Structure formats: structure tokens, C-alpha cells
Amino acid sequence: MYKTGDLAPLTASYRFVRYTDGTVTPAPTAQERIIQLTQGETFPPIRSCNKGAWWQVS
């Protein structure tokens, strides 16, 4: 798994797993649940609530 701020190890689709602070709300929007990153891009926060997230290859 990768967290907000990490660099993507490969070009792939990544899915939201959970927030880094352990909370579960608010839920990310449908558009935020799956992201496409190119190798070397930075994993983003969930912008709708400005929270860090854990991601994994989908």
C-alpha cells in the first residue's frame, strides 16, 4: 500500500483503501476512489475533505 505523499512505483490505477488518520468519514466521492497515476507521480490526498489516504493497485 502507498500513502498520500509517496511516489507511484509504476503507472497504474490505484484504489482508495482508507484514510491515514484512521477515520472513515466522509466517504470519498466516486471519482476519488480510483485514480490513475504515472510512475513517479505523487499520491494525492482525498481532495473533497483534504485528508491523507492509503492506496493500493486496483
Residue-level length of the chain: 58
Q: Is the pTM of this model over 0.75?
A: yes
Mind listing the pLDDT tens digit for each residue in 7-56? 999 999 999 999 999 998 999 999 999 999 999 999 999 999 999 999 99
Q: How many CB atoms lie within 10 A of CB 8?
A: 19
The pLDDT of residue 24 = 84
Mind listing the pLDDT tens digit for each residue in 32-42? 999 999 999 99
- Please, which residues have CB within 8 angstroms of residue 14's CB and are 6 or more apart in sequence? 2, 8, 34, 35, 36, 37, 43, 55, 56, 57, 58
**Residue recorded with cell 472513515:** 24
Domain ranges of the chain: 2-45
